[in-house]
A and B are shown apart, each in its own frame.
Chain A
Amino acid sequence: MRSAAFDYVRAGSVAEALVALADDRETRVLAGGQSLVPMMALRLARPEVLVDITRCPELQSCSLEESVLRIGAAVPDAVLERDPDIRAAHPLLVRTLSLIAHEEIRARGTLCGSLAHADPAAELPALLLATDGEVEVDGPGGPRRVPAAEFFDGPFTAALDDGEMVVAARLPVPGPAVGWAVDEIARRPGDFALAGAVCTVELDSSGRCSGVGVALFGVSSTPVRSRGAEEVLMGQQVDEAVLDAAAAASLDGVDVLGDEVHAPAAYRRDAGRALVRRTLAAAVRSAGGGTA
Protein backbone atom coordinates (compact mmCIF):
# COMPACT_ATOMS: atom_id res chain seq x y z
CA MET A 1 0.00 0.00 0.00
CA ARG A 2 1.09 3.59 -0.55
CA SER A 3 2.08 5.47 2.58
CA ALA A 4 -0.25 8.16 3.83
CA ALA A 5 0.66 11.58 2.42
CA PHE A 6 3.50 13.46 4.07
CA ASP A 7 5.70 16.46 3.49
CA TYR A 8 9.37 15.84 2.88
CA VAL A 9 12.22 17.97 4.20
CA ARG A 10 15.76 17.30 3.02
CA ALA A 11 17.85 18.73 5.85
CA GLY A 12 21.26 20.10 4.91
CA SER A 13 22.48 20.23 8.50
CA VAL A 14 21.51 19.09 11.98
CA ALA A 15 20.39 22.65 12.73
CA GLU A 16 18.01 22.52 9.74
CA ALA A 17 16.76 19.09 10.78
CA LEU A 18 15.99 20.31 14.31
CA VAL A 19 14.00 23.25 12.93
CA ALA A 20 12.00 20.86 10.75
CA LEU A 21 11.43 18.48 13.65
CA ALA A 22 10.01 21.33 15.74
CA ASP A 23 6.93 21.33 13.46
CA ASP A 24 3.60 21.04 15.33
CA ARG A 25 2.60 18.16 13.09
CA GLU A 26 3.79 14.57 13.62
CA THR A 27 7.38 14.44 12.44
CA ARG A 28 9.78 11.52 11.99
CA VAL A 29 13.45 11.38 11.17
CA LEU A 30 14.20 9.49 7.94
CA ALA A 31 17.68 7.99 7.59
CA GLY A 32 17.90 4.64 5.77
CA GLY A 33 14.17 4.09 6.14
CA GLN A 34 14.51 0.32 6.19
CA SER A 35 12.23 -0.01 9.23
CA LEU A 36 10.22 3.19 8.98
CA VAL A 37 9.19 2.89 5.32
CA PRO A 38 7.67 -0.61 5.70
CA MET A 39 5.78 0.65 8.75
CA MET A 40 4.49 3.55 6.66
CA ALA A 41 3.52 1.20 3.82
CA LEU A 42 1.54 -0.86 6.32
CA ARG A 43 0.14 2.42 7.76
CA LEU A 44 1.48 1.47 11.18
CA ALA A 45 3.25 4.82 11.04
CA ARG A 46 1.66 7.91 9.50
CA PRO A 47 4.07 10.80 9.98
CA GLU A 48 2.94 14.10 8.45
CA VAL A 49 6.49 15.33 7.96
CA LEU A 50 9.58 13.27 7.15
CA VAL A 51 12.93 14.89 7.84
CA ASP A 52 15.63 13.26 5.71
CA ILE A 53 18.94 13.56 7.58
CA THR A 54 21.11 11.57 5.18
CA ARG A 55 22.50 14.69 3.46
CA CYS A 56 23.71 16.32 6.69
CA PRO A 57 27.52 16.34 6.33
CA GLU A 58 28.12 16.24 10.08
CA LEU A 59 26.22 12.93 10.34
CA GLN A 60 28.10 11.12 7.61
CA SER A 61 31.36 10.22 9.33
CA CYS A 62 32.81 7.89 11.92
CA SER A 63 35.77 8.43 14.21
CA LEU A 64 37.74 6.47 16.76
CA GLU A 65 38.60 8.51 19.85
CA GLU A 66 40.05 7.05 23.03
CA SER A 67 38.68 3.54 22.49
CA VAL A 68 35.23 4.81 21.56
CA LEU A 69 33.93 4.39 18.04
CA ARG A 70 31.63 7.29 17.22
CA ILE A 71 29.24 6.56 14.36
CA GLY A 72 27.27 9.32 12.68
CA ALA A 73 23.53 8.92 12.23
CA ALA A 74 23.65 8.91 8.43
CA VAL A 75 26.26 6.16 8.04
CA PRO A 76 24.77 3.01 6.47
CA ASP A 77 25.55 -0.38 7.98
CA ALA A 78 27.18 -1.60 4.76
CA VAL A 79 29.68 1.27 4.90
CA LEU A 80 30.64 0.30 8.47
CA GLU A 81 31.03 -3.34 7.47
CA ARG A 82 33.46 -2.50 4.67
CA ASP A 83 35.53 0.16 6.45
CA PRO A 84 38.97 -1.40 7.03
CA ASP A 85 39.60 0.72 10.14
CA ILE A 86 36.30 -0.34 11.69
CA ARG A 87 36.89 -3.97 10.75
CA ALA A 88 40.20 -3.80 12.58
CA ALA A 89 38.99 -1.78 15.56
CA HIS A 90 35.65 -3.41 16.32
CA PRO A 91 35.24 -6.91 14.86
CA LEU A 92 32.31 -7.56 17.22
CA LEU A 93 30.40 -4.71 15.58
CA VAL A 94 31.18 -6.07 12.12
CA ARG A 95 30.04 -9.56 13.09
CA THR A 96 26.86 -8.13 14.62
CA LEU A 97 26.10 -6.13 11.47
CA SER A 98 26.41 -9.28 9.37
CA LEU A 99 23.44 -10.78 11.24
CA ILE A 100 21.13 -7.93 10.21
CA ALA A 101 18.70 -8.73 7.40
CA HIS A 102 20.39 -8.84 3.98
CA GLU A 103 22.98 -6.82 2.10
CA GLU A 104 20.27 -4.81 0.27
CA ILE A 105 18.82 -3.66 3.60
CA ARG A 106 22.22 -2.92 5.16
CA ALA A 107 23.11 -0.85 2.10
CA ARG A 108 20.68 1.79 3.36
CA GLY A 109 19.85 0.94 6.98
CA THR A 110 21.83 2.78 9.65
CA LEU A 111 23.13 1.82 13.08
CA CYS A 112 21.67 4.93 14.72
CA GLY A 113 18.34 4.31 12.98
CA SER A 114 18.22 0.83 14.50
CA LEU A 115 18.86 2.33 17.94
CA ALA A 116 16.15 4.97 17.52
CA HIS A 117 13.69 2.39 16.13
CA ALA A 118 14.33 0.26 19.25
CA ASP A 119 13.02 -3.01 17.86
CA PRO A 120 13.35 -5.49 20.75
CA ALA A 121 14.54 -8.17 18.30
CA ALA A 122 17.26 -5.98 16.78
CA GLU A 123 20.94 -6.77 17.21
CA LEU A 124 22.53 -3.32 17.49
CA PRO A 125 20.61 -2.07 20.56
CA ALA A 126 21.77 -5.20 22.40
CA LEU A 127 25.36 -4.60 21.33
CA LEU A 128 25.18 -1.02 22.63
CA LEU A 129 23.72 -2.29 25.89
CA ALA A 130 26.23 -5.12 26.42
CA THR A 131 29.18 -2.78 25.86
CA ASP A 132 27.84 0.21 27.84
CA GLY A 133 27.63 2.47 24.82
CA GLU A 134 25.93 5.83 24.63
CA VAL A 135 23.63 7.66 22.25
CA GLU A 136 24.27 11.28 21.31
CA VAL A 137 21.01 13.14 21.00
CA ASP A 138 20.30 16.71 19.92
CA GLY A 139 17.08 18.65 20.24
CA PRO A 140 15.31 21.73 21.55
CA GLY A 141 16.98 21.28 24.95
CA GLY A 142 20.45 21.09 23.43
CA PRO A 143 22.75 18.12 22.93
CA ARG A 144 22.90 15.34 25.50
CA ARG A 145 24.29 11.84 25.88
CA VAL A 146 22.09 8.96 26.94
CA PRO A 147 23.64 5.75 28.30
CA ALA A 148 22.35 2.60 26.61
CA ALA A 149 20.85 1.43 29.89
CA GLU A 150 18.51 4.46 29.85
CA PHE A 151 17.77 4.60 26.13
CA PHE A 152 15.43 1.67 25.44
CA ASP A 153 12.15 2.51 27.17
CA GLY A 154 9.91 -0.12 25.64
CA PRO A 155 9.13 -1.96 22.43
CA PHE A 156 9.87 0.43 19.55
CA THR A 157 10.26 3.23 22.08
CA ALA A 158 13.52 5.08 22.62
CA ALA A 159 14.07 7.75 25.28
CA LEU A 160 13.78 10.65 22.84
CA ASP A 161 11.75 13.75 23.63
CA ASP A 162 9.63 15.61 21.10
CA GLY A 163 11.80 17.28 18.51
CA GLU A 164 14.91 15.30 19.44
CA MET A 165 17.00 13.20 17.08
CA VAL A 166 19.91 10.79 17.37
CA VAL A 167 23.07 12.33 15.93
CA ALA A 168 25.60 9.60 16.74
CA ALA A 169 26.24 6.39 18.63
CA ARG A 170 29.26 5.92 20.87
CA LEU A 171 30.46 2.32 20.97
CA PRO A 172 33.29 1.49 23.38
CA VAL A 173 35.76 -0.71 21.52
CA PRO A 174 36.57 -3.97 23.32
CA GLY A 175 40.31 -4.11 24.05
CA PRO A 176 42.54 -6.78 22.55
CA ALA A 177 42.29 -8.91 25.72
CA VAL A 178 38.50 -8.89 25.67
CA GLY A 179 36.74 -11.93 24.25
CA TRP A 180 33.41 -11.48 22.51
CA ALA A 181 30.66 -13.32 20.72
CA VAL A 182 27.27 -12.66 19.20
CA ASP A 183 24.76 -15.22 17.99
CA GLU A 184 21.08 -15.51 17.27
CA ILE A 185 18.43 -18.03 16.36
CA ALA A 186 16.32 -17.14 13.33
CA ARG A 187 14.32 -19.33 10.98
CA ARG A 188 16.52 -18.31 8.04
CA PRO A 189 19.64 -16.16 7.85
CA GLY A 190 18.46 -12.57 7.62
CA ASP A 191 15.13 -13.09 9.35
CA PHE A 192 14.33 -11.35 12.61
CA ALA A 193 15.89 -13.20 15.52
CA LEU A 194 13.61 -15.29 17.70
CA ALA A 195 16.31 -14.82 20.33
CA GLY A 196 19.86 -13.57 20.38
CA ALA A 197 22.74 -12.80 22.71
CA VAL A 198 25.85 -10.65 22.58
CA CYS A 199 28.58 -10.69 25.18
CA THR A 200 32.08 -9.55 26.08
CA VAL A 201 34.33 -11.28 28.62
CA GLU A 202 37.63 -10.17 30.08
CA LEU A 203 39.94 -12.55 31.95
CA ASP A 204 42.73 -11.50 34.31
CA SER A 205 46.20 -13.04 34.24
CA SER A 206 45.05 -15.90 36.46
CA GLY A 207 42.15 -16.66 34.11
CA ARG A 208 39.45 -15.25 36.36
CA CYS A 209 36.65 -13.22 34.84
CA SER A 210 37.43 -9.57 35.53
CA GLY A 211 34.78 -8.02 33.31
CA VAL A 212 31.65 -9.25 31.59
CA GLY A 213 28.72 -7.79 29.67
CA VAL A 214 25.84 -9.92 28.41
CA ALA A 215 22.75 -8.63 26.61
CA LEU A 216 19.82 -10.51 25.12
CA PHE A 217 17.63 -9.44 22.21
CA GLY A 218 14.35 -10.83 20.92
CA VAL A 219 13.65 -12.24 24.36
CA SER A 220 11.93 -9.37 26.15
CA SER A 221 10.09 -6.19 25.19
CA THR A 222 13.42 -4.35 25.05
CA PRO A 223 17.03 -5.49 24.77
CA VAL A 224 18.06 -6.55 28.30
CA ARG A 225 21.27 -7.03 30.22
CA SER A 226 21.58 -10.49 31.71
CA ARG A 227 22.68 -9.46 35.19
CA GLY A 228 22.11 -13.03 36.39
CA ALA A 229 24.70 -14.47 34.02
CA GLU A 230 27.11 -11.60 34.67
CA GLU A 231 26.98 -12.07 38.46
CA VAL A 232 27.67 -15.78 38.17
CA LEU A 233 30.70 -15.21 35.95
CA MET A 234 32.32 -12.20 37.61
CA GLY A 235 35.43 -13.10 39.60
CA GLN A 236 35.21 -16.78 38.74
CA GLN A 237 37.65 -19.14 37.13
CA VAL A 238 35.44 -20.03 34.18
CA ASP A 239 34.82 -23.72 33.64
CA GLU A 240 31.94 -25.75 32.25
CA ALA A 241 30.08 -25.70 35.55
CA VAL A 242 30.32 -21.91 35.80
CA LEU A 243 29.05 -21.55 32.24
CA ASP A 244 26.13 -23.86 33.03
CA ALA A 245 25.33 -21.82 36.13
CA ALA A 246 25.57 -18.56 34.18
CA ALA A 247 23.19 -19.87 31.53
CA ALA A 248 20.78 -21.13 34.18
CA ALA A 249 20.74 -17.70 35.85
CA SER A 250 20.68 -15.74 32.61
CA LEU A 251 16.97 -14.97 32.62
CA ASP A 252 16.74 -14.09 36.32
CA GLY A 253 14.87 -10.81 36.53
CA VAL A 254 14.22 -10.80 32.76
CA ASP A 255 10.59 -10.33 31.76
CA VAL A 256 10.45 -12.86 28.92
CA LEU A 257 7.88 -12.31 26.15
CA GLY A 258 4.72 -14.39 26.41
CA ASP A 259 3.58 -16.89 23.81
CA GLU A 260 3.20 -15.19 20.44
CA VAL A 261 2.96 -16.13 16.80
CA HIS A 262 6.69 -16.57 16.19
CA ALA A 263 7.53 -18.67 19.25
CA PRO A 264 6.07 -19.82 22.57
CA ALA A 265 7.53 -18.31 25.74
CA ALA A 266 9.08 -21.62 26.78
CA TYR A 267 11.00 -21.78 23.52
CA ARG A 268 12.32 -18.25 24.02
CA ARG A 269 13.50 -19.12 27.51
CA ASP A 270 15.33 -22.21 26.26
CA ALA A 271 16.77 -20.35 23.30
CA GLY A 272 17.86 -17.40 25.45
CA ARG A 273 19.68 -19.62 27.95
CA ALA A 274 21.26 -21.70 25.19
CA LEU A 275 22.51 -18.59 23.41
CA VAL A 276 23.98 -17.14 26.61
CA ARG A 277 25.79 -20.45 27.20
CA ARG A 278 27.02 -20.59 23.61
CA THR A 279 28.17 -16.97 23.34
CA LEU A 280 29.83 -16.92 26.76
CA ALA A 281 31.76 -20.09 25.92
CA ALA A 282 32.90 -18.56 22.63
CA ALA A 283 33.81 -15.26 24.30
CA VAL A 284 35.85 -17.00 27.01
CA ARG A 285 37.66 -18.97 24.30
CA SER A 286 38.46 -15.81 22.36
CA ALA A 287 39.64 -14.12 25.57
CA GLY A 288 42.22 -16.88 25.89
CA GLY A 289 40.39 -19.03 28.43
CA GLY A 290 41.08 -22.70 27.83
CA THR A 291 38.27 -24.54 29.52
CA ALA A 292 35.28 -23.76 27.36
Chain B
Amino acid sequence: MTGQPVPVTLRVNGRREVGRVEPRVTLAEFLREELGLTGTHVGCEQGVCGACTVVVDGAAVRSCLMFAVQAEGCDVETVEGLGRDGLHPLQQAFWDAQAVQCGFCTPGFLMTALVALRERTDWDRTALRERLGGNLCRCTGYEPIVDAVLAAAEAARNPGGEAAR
Protein backbone atom coordinates (compact mmCIF):
# COMPACT_ATOMS: atom_id res chain seq x y z
CA MET B 1 0.00 0.00 0.00
CA THR B 2 1.17 3.52 -0.75
CA GLY B 3 2.57 5.66 2.01
CA GLN B 4 3.74 3.05 4.51
CA PRO B 5 5.77 4.45 7.43
CA VAL B 6 9.51 4.72 6.96
CA PRO B 7 12.28 5.18 9.52
CA VAL B 8 13.77 8.59 10.18
CA THR B 9 16.67 9.60 12.43
CA LEU B 10 17.52 13.23 13.17
CA ARG B 11 18.77 15.50 15.93
CA VAL B 12 16.32 17.87 17.55
CA ASN B 13 17.71 20.47 19.94
CA GLY B 14 20.83 18.37 20.30
CA ARG B 15 19.00 15.13 21.06
CA ARG B 16 18.97 12.13 18.72
CA GLU B 17 15.43 11.18 17.76
CA VAL B 18 14.38 8.02 15.95
CA GLY B 19 10.92 7.58 14.54
CA ARG B 20 8.79 5.87 11.94
CA VAL B 21 6.62 8.21 9.93
CA GLU B 22 4.40 8.17 6.92
CA PRO B 23 6.28 10.02 4.18
CA ARG B 24 3.48 12.60 4.01
CA VAL B 25 4.03 13.70 7.62
CA THR B 26 5.62 17.15 7.59
CA LEU B 27 8.52 18.05 9.83
CA ALA B 28 6.14 20.40 11.71
CA GLU B 29 3.72 17.56 12.32
CA PHE B 30 6.51 15.21 13.38
CA LEU B 31 7.86 17.73 15.89
CA ARG B 32 4.43 18.40 17.36
CA GLU B 33 2.70 15.01 17.22
CA GLU B 34 5.57 12.54 17.57
CA LEU B 35 7.96 14.49 19.76
CA GLY B 36 5.42 16.63 21.63
CA LEU B 37 7.31 19.81 20.76
CA THR B 38 4.23 21.97 20.32
CA GLY B 39 6.16 25.24 20.43
CA THR B 40 6.41 25.04 16.64
CA HIS B 41 3.07 26.41 15.48
CA VAL B 42 1.25 25.47 12.31
CA GLY B 43 -0.67 28.28 10.67
CA CYS B 44 -1.25 28.24 6.93
CA GLU B 45 0.33 24.85 6.13
CA GLN B 46 1.42 26.20 2.75
CA GLY B 47 4.58 28.14 3.51
CA VAL B 48 3.11 31.62 3.63
CA CYS B 49 2.80 32.58 7.30
CA GLY B 50 6.13 31.53 8.81
CA ALA B 51 4.65 30.38 12.14
CA CYS B 52 6.25 26.94 11.71
CA THR B 53 9.77 28.26 11.05
CA VAL B 54 12.50 26.07 12.56
CA VAL B 55 16.24 25.89 11.99
CA VAL B 56 17.53 22.95 9.92
CA ASP B 57 21.31 22.60 9.59
CA GLY B 58 21.69 26.26 10.45
CA ALA B 59 19.09 27.67 8.06
CA ALA B 60 15.65 28.98 9.00
CA VAL B 61 13.11 26.99 7.00
CA ARG B 62 9.39 26.27 6.87
CA SER B 63 8.73 23.01 8.70
CA CYS B 64 5.36 22.73 6.93
CA LEU B 65 7.12 22.65 3.54
CA MET B 66 9.42 19.80 4.46
CA PHE B 67 8.49 16.20 5.02
CA ALA B 68 10.01 14.67 8.13
CA VAL B 69 11.77 12.05 6.00
CA GLN B 70 13.65 14.84 4.24
CA ALA B 71 15.23 15.78 7.57
CA GLU B 72 17.02 12.42 7.79
CA GLY B 73 20.40 13.04 9.39
CA CYS B 74 19.69 16.76 9.87
CA ASP B 75 20.21 18.94 12.90
CA VAL B 76 16.93 20.64 13.82
CA GLU B 77 16.48 23.49 16.29
CA THR B 78 13.06 24.49 17.59
CA VAL B 79 11.89 27.18 19.98
CA GLU B 80 12.12 24.63 22.82
CA GLY B 81 15.89 24.70 22.34
CA LEU B 82 16.06 28.39 23.20
CA GLY B 83 16.70 29.52 26.75
CA ARG B 84 16.45 26.27 28.61
CA ASP B 85 17.88 28.07 31.64
CA GLY B 86 15.50 31.00 31.68
CA LEU B 87 14.73 33.19 28.70
CA HIS B 88 17.13 33.33 25.76
CA PRO B 89 18.34 36.93 25.19
CA LEU B 90 16.13 37.11 22.10
CA GLN B 91 13.10 35.95 24.09
CA GLN B 92 13.96 38.50 26.79
CA ALA B 93 14.13 41.20 24.13
CA PHE B 94 10.66 40.20 22.88
CA TRP B 95 9.41 40.38 26.49
CA ASP B 96 10.98 43.79 27.08
CA ALA B 97 9.69 45.30 23.83
CA GLN B 98 6.21 43.79 24.28
CA ALA B 99 6.67 42.07 20.95
CA VAL B 100 4.19 39.35 21.85
CA GLN B 101 0.44 39.64 21.92
CA CYS B 102 -1.43 36.41 21.16
CA GLY B 103 1.89 34.61 20.74
CA PHE B 104 0.94 32.40 17.81
CA CYS B 105 3.58 33.81 15.46
CA THR B 106 6.25 34.23 18.15
CA PRO B 107 8.13 30.92 17.85
CA GLY B 108 8.49 31.41 14.10
CA PHE B 109 9.73 34.97 14.54
CA LEU B 110 12.19 33.85 17.19
CA MET B 111 13.70 31.17 14.97
CA THR B 112 13.91 33.50 11.96
CA ALA B 113 15.50 36.20 14.11
CA LEU B 114 17.88 33.71 15.71
CA VAL B 115 19.39 32.88 12.33
CA ALA B 116 19.36 36.52 11.23
CA LEU B 117 21.40 37.46 14.32
CA ARG B 118 23.81 34.57 13.81
CA GLU B 119 24.44 35.91 10.30
CA ARG B 120 25.12 39.43 11.47
CA THR B 121 24.31 41.84 14.28
CA ASP B 122 24.62 45.12 12.37
CA TRP B 123 21.09 45.08 10.94
CA ASP B 124 19.49 48.37 10.05
CA ARG B 125 15.77 48.67 10.47
CA THR B 126 14.88 48.50 6.78
CA ALA B 127 16.99 45.43 6.03
CA LEU B 128 15.73 43.70 9.16
CA ARG B 129 12.09 44.39 8.25
CA GLU B 130 12.70 42.70 4.92
CA ARG B 131 14.56 39.82 6.59
CA LEU B 132 11.60 39.22 8.92
CA GLY B 133 9.14 39.77 6.07
CA GLY B 134 8.43 36.08 5.61
CA ASN B 135 6.73 35.88 9.01
CA LEU B 136 3.21 37.18 9.52
CA CYS B 137 1.87 38.71 12.75
CA ARG B 138 -1.76 39.75 13.00
CA CYS B 139 -1.55 41.47 16.41
CA THR B 140 1.44 43.68 16.98
CA GLY B 141 1.79 45.68 13.78
CA TYR B 142 5.38 44.38 13.64
CA GLU B 143 7.07 47.47 15.10
CA PRO B 144 7.68 45.99 18.58
CA ILE B 145 9.02 42.80 16.96
CA VAL B 146 11.52 44.78 14.90
CA ASP B 147 12.38 46.81 18.03
CA ALA B 148 13.01 43.59 19.95
CA VAL B 149 15.32 42.06 17.35
CA LEU B 150 17.23 45.33 16.95
CA ALA B 151 17.66 45.49 20.73
CA ALA B 152 18.90 41.89 20.80
CA ALA B 153 21.31 42.73 17.97
CA GLU B 154 22.57 45.74 19.90
CA ALA B 155 23.02 43.61 23.02
CA ALA B 156 24.97 41.03 21.00
CA ARG B 157 27.26 43.77 19.65
CA ASN B 158 27.85 45.32 23.07
CA PRO B 159 27.59 42.52 25.61
CA GLY B 160 28.17 44.83 28.58
CA GLY B 161 26.17 47.75 27.31
CA GLU B 162 22.85 49.32 28.23
CA ALA B 163 20.85 47.13 25.85
CA ALA B 164 22.28 43.94 27.33
CA ARG B 165 20.87 44.54 30.79
Known: A7-B2, A38-B47, A41-B46. A104 touches B62 (CB 8 A): yes
Closest-CB distance, A206 to chain B (whole angstroms): 41
Q: Does B40 lie at the interface of the complex (its beta carbon under 8 Å from any beta carbon of A)? A: no
A188 to B47, CA, bound (A): 16
CB-based closest 10 A-B pairs: A5-B3, A102-B134, A8-B23, A107-B59, A38-B46, A3-B24, A37-B65, A5-B2, A104-B60, A104-B134
Residue A267 CB within 8 A of the other chain: no
Closest B residue to A34 by CB, please name it: B65
Summarize A's interface: helix, strand, loop or mixed. loop
How far does the alpha carbon of A1 sit from the alpha carbon of B133 in the complex, in Å? 24
Residue B123 is within 8 A (CB to CB) of chain A in the complex: no
Given A37-B67, A189-B133; A108-B24 close (CB under 8 Å): no
Whether the Cβ atoms of A10 and B59 lie closer than 8 Å is: no
B contact residues around A6 at 8 Å (CB): 2-3, 23-24
Query: Given A1-B45, A103-B131: A108 and B66 within 8 A (CB)?
Result: yes
Count chain A residues whose beta carbon lies closer than 8 angstroms to a beta carbon of B: 33
CA of A108 to CA of B67, assembled, Å:
12
Q: Is B101 an interface residue (CB 8 A)?
A: no
Instruction: Report the nearest A residue to B6, measured CB to CB.
Output: A8
Expressed in whole angstroms, the Cα–Cα distance for A2 and B3 within the complex equals 12
Interface residue B17 (Cβ < 8 Å from any Cβ of A) = no
Residue of B nearest to A79 (CB): B59
With A33-B66, A38-B65 known as contacts, the answer to whether A188 contacts B133 (CB < 8 A) is yes
Q: Residues 36-78 of chain B: 1 if any A CB is under 8 Å from the residue's CB, otherwise 0?
A: 0000000001110010010000011110111101101000000
A190 interface contact, C-beta 8 A: yes
Distance of B89 from chain A, by nearest CB (Å)? 21
* B112 proximal to A (CB < 8 A): yes
Q: Could you tell me if A8 and B47 are in contact, using CB atoms closer than 8 angstroms?
A: no
- The answer on a CB contact under 8 Å between A108 and B3 is no
Q: Which of A5, A105, A189 contacts B24 (CB 8 A)?
A: A5
CB distance from B24 to the nearest CB of A (A): 4
14 contacts between A and B (CB under 8 A): A7-B3, A10-B69, A10-B72, A30-B70, A37-B64, A38-B65, A50-B67, A103-B131, A105-B65, A105-B134, A107-B61, A108-B61, A190-B130, A190-B134
Q: Are B72 and A108 interface neighbours, CB within 8 A?
A: no
CB atoms of A48 and B62 under 8 A apart: no
Whether the pair A34, B70 counts as a contact (CB closer than 8 A) is no
Q: What is the CA–CA distance of A41 and B130 in the complex, to the nearest angstrom?
A: 27
Determine whether B147 belongs to the interface, using a CB cutoff of 8 Å to chain A: no
